[in-house]
Amino acid sequence: MEDALGKLKVLGEGAQFEVASSSTTGRRKIPLAPAAALCSAREPGQTGPSTRLLRVLQTNKCDRGCTYCPLRRQNDNVERSTFKPDELASLFLQFDSRRMVDGLFLSSGSDGSPDAAMQEVLKTAAILREKFRYTGYIHLKILPGSSYEMVEEAARLANRVSLNLETPSAERLDEVSGEKSFFRDIVMRMEWIEKLRRERGWLPAGQSTQLVVGVGQETDREILKTSSWLYRDLLLNRVYYGAFSPASGTPLEGQAATPARRQQRLYQSDWLLSEYGFGFDELPFKADGGLPLGIDPKVAWALGQPARFPVEVNRAEPEELLRVPGIGPLSARRIVALRREFPFKTLESLKKTGAVVSRARDFISLNGRYFGAPAELLRKAGEKVLLDRPGSRKGGNTSGLRQLTLPFEWPSDTILPPRQTTSLADLAFD
């Protein structure tokens, strides 16, 4: 057990670069296990407790030389370790039997060849499913270049599989990892996965992928254009965005880390695409292809669409309500259900649906009454969005920004913090 926990420390820490959720909650420690091995995950719309996943690598040995990855074969600073399939399956079941985890997130380095590494991952999953009859959640990472047989077996055993795209285009991937083919090694496998899911009814949680944000010179526009295509054509369930962090022993160790705020804006924009019915062309990109960092992209979009607002809450279609900042799918459903018998007349009554009225008030009317800022102030706020020059919060701790307190809630330590305010215009001019 002691040796296995030592491996878990190494291989759990090695798996930290794998993003397992669109939103992470605070880590809950597993007794005896390193905190790095536990990922508490929450998806958009998920209610109740977060999902606790044991997130671990089968091995951190890798024969590839991706410039951003600390596990690259040329990095001699990494302690290498490997779990045998029966060893890892036994360790996971111990945590599962004590109700310390809700599932397994298993990835691996590419040791020897993609298929050789995948065989060990699949052996672990097969031991859990077939020998011990484990019926819980398993998420398996598929390695780029894996054969069809490996992909098929992973799809059979897992609830969800994923294959990391890493960059938004073939050209960007060549810049940081010339050893992998964007289309042949990755996109083709994604197409196999979608075909297996559709034809055989496997993978109830679908497939996902991950992009490393800021590893190169890619713009937010490039990233989200690729995400839009993945949702539309390959029917992915989720695209995750991992903020680049330089690692010692890599060619990019001197490069600046990607700001957490950029990652947050990408997630918020992604949810506009995947959950709110926005089109890619509606996203509020600046001239340089980036998203405004100082403001929620849904608010930025609304400020640029003065002709569409204010929306009358008591008459608007559900799709119109979803376009209002501060109103999400749940609050929109509640509004539609309640307004037939109890028309909304005050901001306080609207607040009870879960709507964030400090953001919604500038874009709505209630029973014909408008509670927001004058149109001229909102116009100026929209112009400021394009300049993207957010002010700083005096005395605040901006270095500790929690990355994913979403959807669409201002983290307490982010820019434009929540406070007692009369309207969104006050925040925009803070």
Instruction: Look over the chain and give the mean of its residue pLDDT values, rounded to a whole number.
Output: 84
Alpha-carbon distances, residue 44 vs 23, 214, 263 (angstroms):
8, 24, 16
Q: Does pLDDT of 423 surpass 50? A: no
Q: Does pLDDT of 150 surpass 90? A: yes
d(C-alpha 202, C-alpha 142), whole Å: 15
Tell me which amino acid residue 403 is.
Q
Q: Does pLDDT of 405 surpass 90? A: no
At 377-401, the pLDDT tens digits run 888 888 877 666 544 333 333 322 2
Domain boundary assignment for the chain:
2-164+172-199, 297-428
Cα end-to-end distance, the chain, whole Å: 55
Stretch 164-191: mean pLDDT, rounded? 93
**Rounded to the nearest 5 degrees, what angle is found at the Cα of 237, between the Cα atoms of 189 and 63?**
40
Q: What is 2-164+172-199's CATH superfamily?
A: Aldolase class I (3.20.20.70)
**Residue matched to tokens 């990408």:** 266
Strands 23-24 and 38-42: antiparallel
Q: Please give the pLDDT value at position 202.
A: 97
**Sign (positive or negative) of CA dihedral 267, 146, 187, 223:** positive
Q: Please give the pLDDT value at position 386.
A: 67
Spatial contact of 8 and 59, defined as CB atoms under 8 Å apart? no
At 250-297, the pLDDT tens digits run 999 899 999 999 999 999 999 999 989 999 999 999 999 999 988 899
At 226-235, the pLDDT tens digits run 999 999 999 9
Q: Give the model's confidence band at 424: pLDDT under 50 very low, under 70 low, under 90 confident, else very high.
A: very low
Q: Please give the pLDDT value at position 13.
A: 80
Q: Please give the pLDDT value at position 16.
A: 75
At 301-355, the pLDDT tens digits run 999 999 999 999 999 999 999 999 999 999 999 999 999 899 999 999 999 999 9
Q: At what angle do helices 220-233 and 260-274 cross, to 10 degrees?
A: 30
